[in-house]
Structure 1
Amino acid sequence: MGIIQNGPHGTFTGRIGNMVYYVLNGKNVCREIGVNTNPPTVKQLKNRLEVKLVGEFFRDLKAFIDVGFSTEPIKAGDSPYNFAVEYNRNKIIKGSYPDLEIAYDKVLVSRGFLKPVKNLVTEQTAGAIKFSWDTNPQMAWPEATDQVMMLAYFVESKKIIYQPFGNSRLSGSDELQIPESLAGEQMETYVSFVAADRKGVADSTYAGSFIA
């Protein structure tokens, strides 16, 4: 958008179409926005592929991310999805261009100030993944009422099975049911906690890779 400063006969600044107006050495000048015809560098191509991989991965996880990053100090007009992408982007890519891929064990699918799961044990059972963690009968309120968040991401189909509000932290365990339709697929699993009042979340913990 162009802006006329100091009335109708003043200087003109800003962009209209493919023209940019600005003041240079006291004169009102304009220039045309050109098209860069130079071929992209390897660094630029690598950056574009990283953005694509991370963006698509978190788009698949969006329903879970909306809870997992809901307590982060998100800027006005931003979203939990954008925050998750920005936070994870430089931490979860492995390999050399063009053979880049997601390092699933480095991903955070939730982030916050609650205590993360302690001494997590993951066990694959018939039709489910069972998660167990350290607990304490004397655990204080409200920590005892935190609820487990469980997620399984299926690499081939890019589907997710999740439970954002499972058993209490005090219970020490919960199960995530896996449908038969996804049998044989590789799944990457994660566990976290969310406060009962939804005002706090823990950093997620990678729970392992399995074949459904």
Structure 2
Amino acid sequence: MAIAENGPGGRHRGRIGNIVYYMLGETNVARGVGITTKASTQAQLRQKLITKMRSELLRDLLDFVNTGFSIEAMQHSDNGFNRAVKNNPGIITGIYPDLEIAYDQVLLSKGRLNPAQNWKVNLVEAGLEYTWDTDPQMPWPQATDQVMLLAYFPQQQKVFYTLFGNSRLSGSDFLEIPPSLQDKYMETYMSFISADRKQLSDSIYTGSFNSDNKENKPLKS
């Protein structure tokens, strides 16, 4: 859709059919939008695959990143998914077409709260046991921050998470994993969110489990 500024005889801005109108300095310019017949370069194919892989990952984790980037999204009049894409520019590595996701570089939340200190994650019966340093003298409202936990299963494209878990003061929480997935390859993360939902911490990558069961899936552009 194009906008006619100052009436039908004024400047146009936007798209009508295959014509795009825009301002180039003080000049109102129109250009046609066509279909290229040139073969894509390897760099273009690589970028296309990077975009696809990153988008598919973040869509799998959409509920978590919508919360994890909610404050930044509000500040930029944007949405959580877009902010997650912008904050994860370099998470795809390798030489095309052998690309892979650097899960230890993935950021699932962003903010100014302190991240967990001296955290540990253990795979135990029924799920993941998270612990972190705590202090009985921890000031309010820091003590009321709630933990956010996530386990992602790349081969199954399944995710299990909690958005508003135990308090920072508690020093521990548990993420239940279904029995059918407990021996599958998984990538894990944790964050904190304030009790009033107005602040977040940067997410922490807390490692992978069952990596011996990791399978290489063929990638398609």
Q: Per the alignment, in what secondary structure is the counterpart of residue 111 of structure 1?
A: coil
Q: CA deviation at 1:28?
A: 9.0
Matches within 5 A, 1:135-174: 135-174=134-173
Q: In 2, Cα distance between the equivalents of 1:4 and 1:171? A: 59
TM-score (norm 2): 0.84
RMSD: 2.5
Q: 1:66 to 1:19 in 2, by over 3 A?
A: closer
Q: Work out the percentage of aligned pairs sharing the same amino acid.
A: 52
CA contact (8 A) 2:73 2:80 kept: no
Which structure: larger Rg? 1
Instruction: State the AA in 1 paired with 2:98.
Output: D
Aligned to 1:47: 47
Counting matched residue pairs gives 208
CA contact (8 A) 1:11 1:23 kept: no
Aligned to 1:60: 60
Q: 1:115 to 1:20 in 2, by over 3 A?
A: closer
Aligned to 1:83: 83
Q: Per the alignment, in what secondary structure is the counterpart of residue 82 of structure 2?
A: helix
Aligned to 2:114: 115
Q: 1:101 to 1:145 in 2, by over 3 A?
A: same
CA contact (8 A) 1:132 1:173 kept: yes
Structure 1 residue ranges without an equivalent (≥5): none
Instruction: State the AA in 2 paired with 1:180.
Output: P
Q: In 1, Cα distance between the equivalents of 2:4 and 2:129? A: 65
CA contact (8 A) 2:164 2:193 kept: yes
Q: 1:7 to 1:185 in 2, by over 3 A?
A: closer
- Summarize deviations over 1:42-69 as a string: whole Å, max 9, x none: 1111111111000000000011112111
Aligned to 2:35: 35
Aligned to 1:202: 201
Instruction: State the AA in 2 paired with 1:200.
Output: Q
Q: CA deviation at 1:142?
A: 0.3
- Summarize deviations over 1:85-113 as a string: whole Å, max 9, x none: 1110x221111111111111111111111
Q: Per the alignment, in what secondary structure is the counterpart of residue 70 of structure 2?
A: coil
Q: 1:170 to 1:39 in 2, by over 3 A?
A: same
Q: CA deviation at 1:189?
A: 0.4
Instruction: State the AA in 2 paired with 1:150.
Output: L
Instruction: State the AA in 1 paired with 2:49.
Output: L
Q: In 1, Cα distance between the equivalents of 2:189 and 2:176? A: 14
Q: 1:32 to 1:171 in 2, by over 3 A?
A: closer
Matches within 5 A, 1:12-23: 13-14=12-13, 15-20=15-20
Q: In 1, Cα distance between the equivalents of 2:155 and 2:56? A: 13
Instruction: State the AA in 1 paired with 2:68.
Output: G
Q: In 1, Cα distance between the equivalents of 2:174 and 2:31? A: 62
Q: CA deviation at 1:172?
A: 0.9
Moved over 4 A (4+): 2-8, 20-24, 27-31
